[in-house]
Amino acid sequence: MSTLLNAAPAPRPAYEVADIIRQYGAAYQEQHPLPRQQQRVLAAIESCRTATLGGHLEQCDHCGYQRPVYNSCRNRHCPKCQGLARAQWLADRQAELLPVGYFHNVFTLPHELNDLLAANPRLLYNLLFHSAAATLQAFAADPQYGLGGQLGFTAVLHTWDQKLLYHVHLHCVIAGGALALDGSAWLPARHNYLFPVRELSQAFRQRYLDGLRRAFAQQQLRFPGRLAALATLGPFAAFLEPLAAKDWVVYSQPPFGGAAQVLAYLSRYTHRVAVSNHRLHAIADGRVTFSYRDRRDHNRTKELTVSAAEFLRRFLLHVTPPGLCRMRHYGFLSNRLKEQQLPRCRTLLGQAEAVAVAVPPPAAALLQGLTTPESRRCPACGQGHLVRVERLPKLPRPQLEEPAPPAGNSS
């Protein structure tokens, strides 16, 4: 693995989501009873890298300096726990990159579906993955769209926009070409676009709406709260009718360059949480200020101040169901096929073996920080190295309450 050894870790942020939870989380939960999964997320983030989770004591083997090192919560919604997972994942992905351009497509669900999505997240997020993947592979298999084979791509679920509002969409990073269905040839994509976006959008819309109708017919959908009016066939069909006529947003970006750019791009989307600690600028007087990029104003960075309760409400919108896989691989990149089909793709492309690619700087710094002798050097004397001398036990944690019935309001 090649890494950027001169990469420096980012400075520690002045504010953390954990600070907001510690100051305002209890009051918020008193006023807004939460499902057990959301309670677990708040408790995990609040206790991350504190004495609550235990850890170990390190001591310098030269001067005797000691410091406690506390365990991380490893919750996938925690802003502090995704950096290392992302770094390792990116390092592992190096072996899967091909010497082709890569396209970025985004499939977005209309906001009219937000309440239904919030009430049925596992079912409808899975339907989003299936609909987008099936649409892409159907276009790839049809020679009229320029290929006639099987794609390989990675899809990542995001449920937020820059202001932390509910905005469900799927990022797909797609190798620029297809493996012929019989494995006999590599079929290169056009240099400037993968598939016609309008036709892709229409096919994706049809697949997703068909999936909603099947779920309704099989009584798989829940209709709590204000959604109860849609629980019978007539109102539900009427609800879907305008969505079938609406243009659904499918974004397609021209291919970006080589493997290093692909890794850098992926590092912006994988293992990402709704808001990073570095975006927090102030926590005071019951209010939270955070930065966001305004896409309607040339992506300028601006600040938004909301109440702490509103910040927590928005943050919790993006807690996904336990066990739901938010990042999936398809086609010749799928776990089932890549061991046989990736080497075949390389052979057809004239690539003898996987090319070592530099991991993006933040990820490289994380990996280096855990694997080099310098990371264990004593900060007090600068000569000795820190070694573990004692285990620090976890502290007792309060019991979580029984989950409250989920609310129908999602925005």
Report which of 408, 400, 321 is spatially closest to residue 36, judged by C-alpha positions.
400
Predicted local confidence at residue 360, as pLDDT: 53
CATH of residue 109: 3.40.1310
Print the domain residue range for 113: 98-274+317-353
> Over pLDDT 90: what percentage of the chain?
72
Of 168-177, 193-202, 344-353, which gets the smallest average pLDDT? Answer: 344-353
**Best CA proximity match to 116, nearest among 107, 105, 127:** 127
Name residue 108's amino acid.
Answer: T
> Do the domain assignments include residue 55?
no
Does the pLDDT value for residue 188 go beyond 70? yes
297: which residues sit within 8 A by CB, 6+ positions away?
Answer: none
Indicate the pTM of the whole model.
0.88
* 30-44, 217-231, 391-405: segment of lowest average pLDDT: 391-405
Q: Judge whether 289 lies within some domain.
A: no
Helices and strands, counts by H and E, the chain: 11, 14
> How far is the CA of 68 from the CAs of 201, 246, 390, 400, in angstroms?
53, 56, 9, 27
The answer to whether residues 55 and 21 touch, using CB atoms and an 8 Å cutoff, is: no
Average model confidence (pLDDT) across the chain = 88
Rounded to whole angstroms, the Cα distance separating 137 from 148 reads 10
Parallel/antiparallel/unpaired status of strands 250-256 and 102-108: antiparallel
- Reduced to 3 states (helix: H, G, I; strand: E, B; else coil), residue 332 is coil
pLDDT digits (tens, 9 = 90+) for 233-256: 999 999 999 999 999 999 888 776
Report CA-CA distances (Å) from 217 to 207, 231, 251, 350, 392. Answer: 15, 11, 31, 50, 54
Residue 247 lies in a domain: yes
367: which residues sit within 8 A by CB, 6+ positions away? 3, 84, 87, 88, 91, 359
106 domain residue, yes or no:
yes
**Residue 208, domain member (yes or no):** yes
Residue 153 lies in a domain: yes
Q: What is the 3-state secondary structure (H, E, C) of 200-259?
A: HHHHHHHHHHHHHHHHHHCCCCCCCHHHHHHCCHHHHHHHHHHHHHCCCCEEEEEEECCH
Structural domain total, the chain = 1
Does residue 371 fall inside a structural domain? no
User: Is 209 inside any structural domain?
Assistant: yes
